Amino acid sequence: MVDARWALPGVLAGAAQSITTSRVPRRTARDWTIDVIVFLIAIGFVVLTMFAQMTTPDGEIVSFTDDGAGGTLVVHQVLDPVLGVLLSLSLWWRRRFPLALSLVALVLSTFTVGTGAAAVILLFTLAVHRPWPVSVPVNLLQIPVAFLHLRFTTGTTDDWGTLIFGSLIGMMVLAWGIAVRARRQLVLSLRTAAEQERRQTELRLVDARRGERSSIAREMHDVLAHRISLLSVHAGALEYRTRQAESGDAAALTASEVHDAVAVIRENAHQALEELREVLTVLRSDGTDEGDDETGTAAPQVAVGDLETLVEEARAAGQLVRLSIDAPGLEESRPQLQRTVFRVVQEGLTNARKHAPEVAVNVALRGTAGDEVVVEVTNVTQISAPRSVIPGAGAGLTGLSERVTLEGGTLEAAASGGAFRLRVRLPWRS
């Protein structure tokens, strides 16, 4: 916001509106002040020339009947002031029609004297509001106009001093107007650039917020889906065993068995909350030390070394998992690559637990440093298998695909030959 908008020219004060619309900017207080001043100057010049033409060098008033010049005094004493006043009034519209009024002023100034001040002001306005290929040729017309002016007013063209002085004044006015126009264009270009930068910043902020929401959703899905599916499996097993005991088809659960089942559920719930806290800590970090918590200690991030723990948790929930790792040196690779590999295996086990809970899952990890890492999670599909009661957001593979794409890898997920295979290829850059 400009705190002194009234002190700016209308073309600058209304730059925001003039960029989007073709309307002429409204006058500011400064414009009104300048318009009044130039109008008074033009009218004052008309009055001065009128009195100068009506008096002799001795100070005597020339009579209208003293027409020895064949009507020349009548033109100078009557028509000259009238045209000067009319051209002075046209100054109020000089910003809207600078070219047309400048050409009219040049025509009138060839045989009148009182229009001189208004003509100079109009030529200056033309240089300010129109590009130089337009203003320069029009201003150069002052030179032949000056010859004709001397011919009509004095009957001679030998007054070279007056011609040179008039031409210099015209060139100074032209240069001043071009300079003012160049400065205004610079200010407008800077303002336009600032406005574009502001809009781009807003777009970047919107994209950053959208990316942050996507990151939060993807990380929460990857972390919580695994834990919640384990909770669902353990709770379902406890519910099934209790129902069997109530119907007399199985022995009643002992206190130790109930304690163990509840302990497993509590441990997984606690672990889910801890992993959720770690995810939020990473997402809220300022980017200097990824994963730093509020105490300044780096929060542990999942890596390839945690795959054994992940598989053991799945096996404890009753899932049959076979893990095969043949990627020497992967534990020393980039943390982001290890994190992506871990999330791929985690998502594959979670999906298998949801859709094929009773079949074995094969996890194969192989790779060569400097080449690529291949992760495959395969499980047999059973058409007759009961539908899983574990709810899902349906965005796991979508989020995983985005994560893999950011790493420059590819993801394939399809069912063929009676098995569902999730295969991910990631570049292993050293």
Q: Identify whether the C-beta of residue 171 lies closer than 8 Å to the C-beta of residue 127.
A: no
Dist. CA 335–CA 353, nearest whole Å: 27
Residue 134 CB-density burial (10 A; 0-12 exposed, 13-18 middle, 19+ buried): middle
pLDDT of residue 321 exceeding 50, the answer is: yes
Stretch 316-337: mean pLDDT, rounded? 88
Dist. CA 52–CA 45, nearest whole Å: 10
Tokens 């208004």, residue located: 118
Q: Identify whether the C-beta of residue 202 lies closer than 8 Å to the C-beta of residue 29.
A: no
Dist. CA 321–CA 417, nearest whole Å: 20
pLDDT tens digits along 258-292: 777 788 777 778 777 776 776 666 555 544 444 44
Distances from the Cα of 386 to the Cαs of 39, 314, 359, in angstroms?
Answer: 93, 19, 12
Mean pLDDT of the chain: 77
- Asked whether the CA dihedral 46, 50, 51, 57 is positive or negative, the reply is positive
Stretch 410-427: mean pLDDT, rounded? 89
pLDDT of residue 381 exceeding 60, the answer is: yes
Dist. CA 216–CA 221, nearest whole Å: 8
The torsion angles phi and psi of 325, rounded to 5 degrees, stand at -125, 125
Classified by CATH at the fold level, domain 302-430 comes out as: Heat Shock Protein 90 (3.30.565)
Closest Cα to residue 185, out of 129, 104, 111, 242?
A: 129
Determine the residue type at 58: D
pLDDT at 89: 92
Higher pLDDT, 249 or 100: 100
pLDDT at 76: 59
pLDDT tens digits along 37-85: 999 998 988 888 877 766 555 444 444 444 444 445 555 567 888 888 9
pLDDT bucket at 296, cuts 50 / 70 / 90: very low
Q: Kindly state the percentage of the chain with pLDDT values over 70.
A: 73
pLDDT of residue 23 exceeding 80, the answer is: no
Distances from the Cα of 377 to the Cαs of 222, 288, 361, in angstroms?
Answer: 16, 34, 7
**Sequence ranges of the chain with CATH classification 3.30.565.10:** 302-430
